[in-house]
């Protein structure tokens, strides 16, 4: 038994989230929301992968479990190709988007 300070309500909530993350559509929305909230991608992916099962997910993406876990470790720096490989089951990929210029430029008349 884990010795964490989880109330039964928090424990049920955590279990519910883990169950929900097994659903690829829910996991996809979770990942998108995590990025919006500036959660590191490796951290968010790690939660999803662990909820789905490391061995199962590793087989799905054609990667050995130890390599998958290493990729998810925030101290490592996976390539864009590797991250896209992990995002593909969720119909996601890394891309860049321009930042809108919040300052309105006034043109001389």
Rg (CA), the chain: 18
In this structure, is residue 97 part of a structural domain? no
In this structure, is residue 98 part of a structural domain? no
Q: Residue 76 is part of which domain span?
A: 12-90
Average pLDDT over all residues of the chain: 83
What does the DSSP assignment read for the chain? -------HHHHHHHHHHHHHTTSHHHHHHHHHHHHHTT--HHHHHHHHHHHH-HHHHHHHHT--HHHHHHHHSTTS---HHHHHHHHGGGT------PPP--SPPPPP-
Whole-number pLDDT of residue 92: 96
In this structure, is residue 95 part of a structural domain? no
Rounded to two decimals, what is the model's pTM?
0.74
Q: Is a pLDDT exceeding 90 seen at residue 15?
A: no
In this structure, is residue 109 part of a structural domain? no
Q: Is a pLDDT exceeding 50 seen at residue 2?
A: no
Q: Which residue has the tokens 């990929």?
A: 93
Domains in the chain: how many in total?
1
Q: Taking residues 47-54, report their average pLDDT.
A: 94
């Amino acid at each position: 038994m884990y010795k964490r300070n989880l109330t039964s309500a928090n424990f049920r909530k955590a279990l519910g989230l883990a169950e929900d993350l097994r659903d690829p559509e829910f996991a996809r929305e979770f990942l998108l929301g995590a990025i919006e909230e500036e959660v590191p991608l490796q951290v968010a992916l790690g939660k999803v992968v662990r909820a789905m099962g490391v061995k199962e997910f590793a087989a799905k993406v054609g990667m050995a479990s130890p390599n998958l876990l290493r990729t998810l470790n925030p101290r490592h720096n996976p390539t864009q190709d590797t991250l896209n490989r992990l995002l593909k089951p969720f119909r996601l990929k890394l891309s860049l988007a321009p930042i809108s210029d919040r300052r309105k430029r006034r043109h001389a008349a």
